A and B are shown apart, each in its own frame.
Chain A
Amino acid sequence: MTQEKKFLVSPGPHLWRNLSTSKIMYLVVAALMFPVGAAIYYFGYHALLIMAVSTATAVLAEYGVKKLRHGEFTMDGSAIVTGLIMALTLPPTIPWWMAAIGAAFAMAIAREAFGGLGHNIFNPALAGRAFLAACFSGEMSTWVLPMHFSVDAVTAATPLNESFVWHADKISLYKDLLLGNVGGSLGETSALLILIGGIMLLVLGIINWTIPVSYIGAAALLSFCLGQDALLQVLAGGLMLGAFFMATDYVTSPITNKGRIVFGVGAGILTVLIRCFGGMPEGVCFAILFMNALTPLIDRYIKPRPYGSQRKAAQ
């Protein structure tokens, strides 16, 4: 006989897909290992130091804020993602303590002060970077050529700078951009490795094609129309990193696929406009932050039409 026993009563459904927030975050961390590896290869130990400090600070900052507010801290990996991505946007020569300040700002102010994961309006990593750019404009715009593990850094313009000069032919410029043998922030080196990491996320279903394709597509198209070198615009700077790893942040981008396309196109246009007409050589960070701010509005107006409702819904 089956024993006398009372059973659980729990709400349905009683089956979940084998996926959790932390699993998603750690898969993003895994995909980030491609640009992270490139950063270490091109910029040596200091790159490692910056990324380690930034990540550790991000985790500690989240822990600290959660404890202060008597919240519950779970190691869901989202702080690691934020810390790493922010580090990848920094110049290779930045002092480590600046990275710490940026990461602390990203987690404590840009994320936790808004209510924690899921409630922040701005991508925390980019907010951290923007904060650093405002505080330390000098250090934040010093660029060097990859020096690998040697200590002599050669200051140079990034490919997007007006003062950037290239003596060899175009093909070898594209090749260097793909492989990463150019100046720029830690994560802006190899477009190819970023692409591999991004494709990994696409294949695993962590992100979908909407934002990367619309972002990169819009940026390429607009630079072409403006008479720019479209391929250079796409491969150089933080565009690839931004399109695959930053603009795709779930929390700060629209929730519908149509909305995501609007978001990507907007970010692409803004990036190119800032690059060509703004006072800054790089526009990815501010373009995405601006679109983050528009996201609630996009979500308000772009919604799926519910099954069975009139095609032209009144309001």
Chain B
Amino acid sequence: MAGIILKKRSTPHGVKIPESKPTGNKPIETLPFPKKAIVPLHQNLGVPCEPLVKKGDSVKTGEKIGDSESYVSAPIHSPISGEVTGFTKLIGPTTGRLTDAIIITADGRNTWEEPEAAKDIAALSRDEIIALVREAGIVGLGGATFPSHIKLSPPEGKKIDTLILNGCECEPFITSDHRIMLEYGEKILLGLGLSKKVFKPDRIYIAIEDNKQDAIDHMEELVMEMGLDRNIRIVPLKSKYPMGGEKILIKVITGREVPSGGLPLDVGAVVQSISTVKAMYDAIFDGKPLIERVVTVTGLVERPGNLCVRFGTPLREVIDYCGGIKKNVNEILLGGPMMGTSCFDLDFPVTKGVNCILAKESTPVKEENCIRCGRCLDACSMDLIPTNFVKYVKNHDYAACKKASIADCIECGACAYSCPAHIPIVEYIKIAKGELANKKRIKK
């Protein structure tokens, strides 16, 4: 029998980051449920939800408490059972926007909302699966938080021939997907079956970086055991950042380039994160909406680990469970060190987009002149000239940025990582993108 593990692949771009994933061998622990959950109504890319409950209402675990009429949104469910004791406003560190949040005080019983009558999963149609995914509030858990039901519904006439399951986890420090693969491999493959039913792809790839050999082996074993080896292939990839970026994965695996301004489906491909697929399993097989996720808590904390955290749990409780932060910590990141965002206090709750909490000591670095060394060009997977964006932004020449395809930048930060002059290139790029977006809005 031919092996299902393909030859290892790599990309000429990107950066090699020294191995730094100390929590890869820490099994997932479940964090005690919060006594008070603060649930923001904006947890996805797109439109925020409207609350469906009011102060004084009692809610059950998994009960829908927020939803939106808009297509580009995903409902929000109560992470615990208890009473709605108020509303508050907070600034989402990942979205940067002010959003409403529902405060729920726990009754300590964790009573689940009765799931609807068990369904015959094999008989579910494509549209039924998509509807269930939407109802469960599932968004892309790799970090983008794009509502999954949209990804599952490519426009008529777009044939998806390649489905890629993304288990790369190329950001340093984050190990949540790694652990999910090792501990919930079956659920991933069953969830993948649902995606397969939706897309009817010709080929399915599971992409895993070679710093997770145990996950590669484990997934191979499971695929064989479950008799799925006819259509699933595992692609080991060289550990390089940002290997897990959708567009990069598609190029490395299929050789196709997503057209500028286009979507993966324009080249017949779809990339789903393994944790998203696992959430699809939970929703459809177990009737559990998305109310928790695995978060890697790492960096300068006393006991780093991988925790399953209910949404709405304040960061403080997560960090305290891990023994607290060390004295010299002066920055808390949500997400990894490359694309994560700083969070200024620990009252902020864990949301759908938080895959990692990283405590670190930052020393300010001084930005120097660009010495035109070309390292940012070598690092850029999108083949842009990052240093030119810096030059254009300094001259307020945003039109030049646009012409140089700034919209294609995926803000991965590989360029800034490699820059010996420590220029925060991505920051300049964000400024230019913001200016261009404003200009567009004014024109309208």
Contacts and interface: CB of A to CB of B under 8 A. Distances in A.
B424 A250 contact: no
Contacts of A251: 371-372
A232 interface: no
26 contacts: A1-B320, A1-B324, A2-B320, A7-B345, A8-B362, A10-B331, A12-B337, A12-B416, A12-B426, A14-B337, A14-B358, A15-B17, A17-B418, A20-B421, A21-B368, A24-B420, A118-B372, A250-B371, A256-B385, A306-B260, A307-B260, A307-B381, A307-B382, A308-B262, A309-B260, A309-B405
B172 interface: yes
B146 to A, nearest CB: 19
A204 B324 CA distance: 40
Contacts of B417: 13, 15-17
Nearest to A252: B372
Given A255-B372, A255-B385, A304-B385, A7 B342 contact: yes
A7 B319 contact: no
A19 B420 contact: yes
Dominant secondary structure of chain B at its interface with chain A: loop
Residue of B15, B369, B413 with most partner-chain A CB within 10 A: B369
B369 A305 contact: no
B371 A16 contact: no
A117 B331 contact: no
Interface string B223-265: 0000000000000000000000001000100000111111000
A118 B367 CA distance: 13
Interface of B: 15, 17, 172, 247, 251, 257-262, 316, 319-320, 324-325, 329-333, 337-346, 358, 360, 362, 364-365, 368-374, 377, 381-385, 387, 404-405, 408, 413, 416-422, 424, 426-427
Contacts of A7: 329-332, 342-345
B413 A12 contact: yes
Contacts of A303: 385
B314 to A, nearest CB: 10
A5 B344 CA distance: 8
Given A14-B360, A117-B371, A304-B385, 8 more contacts: A6-B344, A7-B331, A12-B338, A12-B424, A14-B331, A250-B373, A306-B404, A308-B259
Which 9 pairs show the lowest CB-CB distances between chains A and B? A13-B413, A118-B369, A15-B337, A11-B427, A308-B260, A9-B342, A304-B383, A8-B331, A306-B405
Interface string A23-41: 1100000000000000000
A243 B332 CA distance: 47
A299 to B, nearest CB: 9
Contacts of B325: 2
A117 B15 CA distance: 26
A74 to B, nearest CB: 8
A116 interface: yes
A21 B408 contact: no
Given A118-B371, A255-B374, A256-B374, A307 B342 contact: no
B257 A15 contact: no
Contacts of B332: 7
A311 to B, nearest CB: 9
Interface residues of A, number: 39
Contacts of A250: 371-374
A30 B405 CA distance: 39
B419 to A, nearest CB: 8
B373 to A, nearest CB: 4
Interface of A: 1-2, 5-17, 19-21, 23-24, 74, 76, 116-119, 250-251, 253, 255-257, 303-309
B170 to A, nearest CB: 13
Contact of B257 (A20, A76, A308): A308
Contacts, number: 153
A271 B146 CA distance: 57
A12 B341 contact: yes
Contact of B377 (A5, A304, A308): A304
A49 B418 CA distance: 38
Contacts of A15: 17, 172, 337-338, 417
Contacts of B424: 11-12
Contacts of B408: 306-309
A118 B332 CA distance: 34
A76 B258 CA distance: 42
A276 to B, nearest CB: 32
A13 B426 contact: yes
Contacts of A116: 369
Nearest to B20: A15
A115 B416 CA distance: 23
Given A24-B373, A306-B382, A307-B382, A14 B316 contact: no
Contacts of B405: 306, 309
A16 B377 CA distance: 16
Contact of A307 (B362, B365, B374, B383): B383
Contacts of A11: 424, 426-427
B338 A308 contact: no
B31 to A, nearest CB: 15
A13 B337 contact: yes
A21 B316 contact: no
Contact of B371 (A6, A10, A21, A309): A21
Given A14-B362, A304-B385, A6 B345 contact: yes
Nearest to B301: A2
A305 B404 CA distance: 10
A74 B404 CA distance: 33
Nearest to A257: B374
B355 to A, nearest CB: 15
B333 A21 contact: no
A68 to B, nearest CB: 18
A13 B338 contact: yes
A14 B333 contact: yes
Contacts of A74: 368
A20 B371 contact: no
Contacts of A307: 247, 251, 257-258, 260, 381-383, 408
Residue of A117, A304, A306 with most partner-chain B CB within 10 A: A306
A2 B324 contact: yes
Contacts of A12: 337-341, 413, 416, 424, 426-427
B388 to A, nearest CB: 9
Contacts of B364: 10
Nearest to B316: A2
